[in-house]
Amino acid sequence: MRTISDTIARLAAMRGGPRFPTNPHDDRLSDLGAFGSNPGALRGRCYIPHDLPPGAALVVVLHGCTQTAAGYDHGSGWSRLADEEGFAVLYPEQQRANNPNLCFNWFVPEDMRRDRGEALSIRQMIDTIVAEHGLDRRRIFVTGLSAGGAMAASMLASYPEVFAGGAIIAGLAHGSASTIPEAFDRMRGHGGPSTAELQRRLKEASPHEGPWPRVSIWQGSADATVAPSNADSILGQWQGVHRVEPGLPRTETVDGHMRQVWRDAGGREVIERYTIAGMGHGTPLKTLGEDGLGNVAPFMIEAGISSTRRIAAFWEITKGAATGRAKVSRQPASGRAVELRAAVDIPRAVRVDHAAETPKSPVRGSATGISKTIEDALRTAGLMR
């Protein structure tokens, strides 16, 4: 594990990263209003299409560090897709009083466990919006980028009975860190629990015994902020509950990027992993063409593939009528590629800056012992309020 001084030095080097620009005119979201005791002190925002059908699906979206709900929506295009496909979108939003860099506190046990802190606040938001708009409790999904992706992983682990599926973009496995130094080590790909231990932590996160949410994993191969090895950890954690073989996934090339798929005993696709070639830290977008969606911004990267559209298709909340066709190269058991023409939904990519995704210690509550030492050091370095 890295020393505290090394961690502080890395934080100092990251100070002053770019912020996610938000034009007020690009804000398509509304405030959710009161939604329970809100122990995590989060803000709730949402988007409800004007012609939302009865029993529509719900997508919960968690932004990354330095981002806002409106900024991430403008970049990813989730509310635009909601208009096209007829589902509701919920955006929990972090507040600076909780985390100065607007990161969800995925590495703080009191915020990422079932019925506690930020996790419970998000759960309360879900209950409120489902009740208010008559949404389908069998079709609730969660996705997030980076710190939001790590929190999405914890929501899937802590409340698996709530979600039909999830998508983790440049995130980390549930329970992979519980302190600031551990968070930085895991982000860099250093140390961390074994696959068996991660599977145990997933099973112990709730009393649920199945069925389990299907999971989509997205990772840039050139990500210098969250090491690609974290995608392996997420995959290993979820392979256990889905009881799929660790090896021999179906592999194909989609819009120039590798997609791997694992099926359960019944033949259903339960885990997919996209590796975005040459992409750094952020959400992959495809902004051009008639299927273009979203906008390039910090941490929102043009990659020629729309993670938003493809995640929604994996969850089966799209109408299924493809507006375009893309080349898919599938790799059969013989190893010889077979060229197929497959209908696909096209999502967008956004560029992310590596410097801004910095976990910050939460402000709620008083710190003691080693935690206080770390926080004092962060404040002295001007990295924490």
pLDDT tens for each residue of 150-170: 999 999 999 999 999 999 999
Alpha-carbon gap, residue 181 to 186, rounded angstroms: 9
Alpha-carbon Rg of the chain, whole angstroms? 20
Phi first, then psi, for residue 47 (nearest 5°) are -135, 125
Q: How many CB atoms lie within 10 A of CB 85?
A: 19
- Catalytic residues, by residue number, are 146
pLDDT of residue 364: 54
Between helices 180-187 and 369-380, what is the axis angle to 10°? 70
Alpha-carbon gap, residue 270 to 238, rounded angstroms: 9
Alpha-carbon gap, residue 323 to 207, rounded angstroms: 42
Q: Are 307 and 218 in contact (CB under 8 A)?
A: yes
Alpha-carbon gap, residue 381 to 385, rounded angstroms: 10
Give me the amino acid identity at 322: A
pLDDT of residue 348: 27
Architecture of the CATH domain 4-380: 3-Layer(aba) Sandwich (3.40)
Across all residues in the chain, what is the average pLDDT? 83
Question: Order of strands, edge to edge, in the sheet holding 300-302?
Answer: 283-285, 300-302, 350-351
Q: Are 217 and 143 in contact (CB under 8 A)?
A: no
Provide the 8-state DSSP code for 226: S
Alpha-carbon gap, residue 37 to 123, rounded angstroms: 11
Nearest to 192 by CA among 154, 237, 162: 237
Burial of 260: CB neighbours in 10 Å, binned 0-12, 13-18, 19+:
middle
pLDDT tens for each residue of 28-54: 999 999 999 999 999 999 999 999 999
Burial of 304: CB neighbours in 10 Å, binned 0-12, 13-18, 19+:
buried
Helices (H), 90-247: 109-112, 117-133, 147-158, 180-187, 195-204, 229-242
Q: Are 291 and 297 in contact (CB under 8 A)?
A: no
pLDDT of residue 25: 57
Strands 43-47 and 88-93 come out as antiparallel
- Residue 92: C-alpha distances to residues 37, 112, 275, 372 (Å): 14, 14, 27, 28
| pTM, 2 dp | 0.81
Nearest to 47 by CA among 81, 94, 96: 81
Tens digit of pLDDT per residue, the chain (385 long)? 444 444 444 444 444 333 444 466 589 999 999 999 999 999 999 999 999 999 999 999 999 999 999 999 999 999 999 999 999 999 999 999 999 999 999 999 999 999 999 999 999 999 999 999 999 999 999 999 999 999 999 999 999 999 999 999 999 999 999 999 999 999 999 999 999 999 999 999 999 999 999 999 999 999 999 999 999 999 999 999 999 876 689 999 999 999 999 999 889 999 999 999 999 999 999 999 999 999 999 999 999 999 999 999 999 999 863 333 344 444 433 332 222 222 222 222 222 333 344 444 444 544 444 444 444 444 433 334 4
Tell me if residue 54 falls in helix, strand or coil: coil
Alpha-carbon gap, residue 287 to 255, rounded angstroms: 13
- CB burial of 169-205 (b: ≥16 within 10 Å; e: otherwise) equals bbbbbbbbbebbbbbbbbbbeeebbebeebbebbbeb
What stretch of H or E contains 307?
helix 307-314
Nearest to 83 by CA among 126, 19, 28: 28
Nearest to 317 by CA among 42, 87, 60, 146: 87
pLDDT of residue 26: 81
> DSSP E strands: which ranges in the chain?
30-31, 43-47, 58-62, 88-93, 140-145, 165-169, 214-220, 250-254, 257-263, 269-276, 283-285, 300-302, 324-331, 338-344, 350-351
